[in-house]
């Protein structure tokens, strides 16, 4: 696991590939009743992995992305920038029947941009923090606002000292 930068919150929540897969499948299970969905829009980059899992579980074949940049150098959330919009044919119905998927809703700023693009879509995340929670329709796990989630694609295996000895 990489060292925690000073700008990150004090609490760490490391997520393994197995745990993330279980949580994403649990999200799909919960979403099954909310569908059917004609398309999934993954918010890149974090939404790509859960969108693939949810698409497989719900048998959705039409996958689109919306590319919204918010974090610079993993340490601070900056100005939002829409790098790639959603395809016009998916936006045609204001997102009706579309599922938006992301790994996490944090402050809700990225979710707000996605909601403005597809106001009728169902918005789902695997994890949610209190500030962003009102922006999503479905999520699996809520963590405190002062927690940093370490996703498996951002980490590697490393020794951690016990918590009592300063380990995270």
pLDDT tens, 32-85? Answer: 999 899 999 999 999 999 999 999 999 999 999 999 987 665 556 668 889 999
Residue 6 within a domain: no
More confident of the two residues 88 and 166: 88
Q: Which residues form the domain of 95?
A: 47-154
Residue 24 falls inside a structural domain: no
Q: Residue range 16-20: average pLDDT?
A: 97
Q: What is the CATH number for 115?
A: 3.40.50.2020
105 assigned to some structural domain: yes
| pLDDT tens digits, 105-117 | 999 999 999 999 9
In a domain, 144, yes or no: yes
Across all residues in the chain, what is the average pLDDT?
90
pLDDT the model gives residue 25:
98
Other C-beta atoms lying within 10 Å of the C-beta of residue 63: 15
Sort strands 63-72 and 76-84 into parallel, antiparallel or unpaired.
antiparallel
Catalytic, out of 23, 89, 103, 146:
103
Residue-wise pLDDT tens digits, 134-153: 999 999 999 999 999 999 99
| pLDDT for residue 110 | 94
146 among known catalytic residues = no
Environment class of 128 (CB within 10 Å of its CB; exposed 0-12, middle 13-18, buried 19+):
buried
Q: How many domains does the chain have?
A: 1
The single residue of 23, 89, 102, 137 carrying the catalytic annotation is 102
Q: What pLDDT sits at residue 30? A: 96
State yes or no: is 137 an active-site residue: no
pTM: 0.85
Let me know if residue 117 belongs to a domain. Answer: yes
Residue 137 belongs to some domain of the structure: yes
Does some domain include residue 41? no
What is the pLDDT averaged over residues 121-146? 97
Give me the pLDDT at residue 168, please.
61
Q: Within 13 A of 126's CA, how many CA atoms are on the CB side?
A: 24
Q: Read off the pLDDT band of 95 (50, 70, 90).
A: very high
Identify the active-site residue in 10, 89, 106, 137: 106
**Does a structural domain hold residue 96?**
yes
Please compute the mean of the pLDDT values over residues 3-31 and round it to a whole number. 84
- Distance, CA of 39 to CA of 20 (rounded, Å): 22
């Amino acid at each position: 696991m990489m060292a925690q930068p000073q700008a990150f919150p004090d609490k760490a929540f490391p997520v393994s590939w197995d745990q993330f897969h279980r949580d994403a499948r649990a999200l799909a299970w919960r979403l099954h009743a909310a569908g059917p969905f004609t398309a999934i829009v993954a918010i890149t980059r974090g939404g790509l992995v859960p969108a693939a899992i949810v698409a497989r579980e719900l048998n959705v074949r039409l996958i689109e992305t919306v590319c919204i940049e918010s974090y610079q150098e993993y340490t601070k959330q900056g100005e939002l920038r829409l790098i790639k919009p959603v395809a016009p044919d998916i936006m045609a119905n204001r997102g009706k029947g579309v599922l938006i998927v992301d790994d996490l809703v944090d402050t809700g700023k990225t979710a707000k941009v996605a909601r403005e693009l597809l106001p009728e879509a169902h918005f789902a995340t695997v994890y949610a923090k209190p500030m962003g929670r009102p922006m999503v329709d479905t999520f699996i796990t809520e963590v405190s606002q002062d927690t940093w989630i370490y996703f498996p694609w951002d980490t590697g295996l490393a020794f951690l000292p016990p918590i009592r000895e300063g380990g995270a």
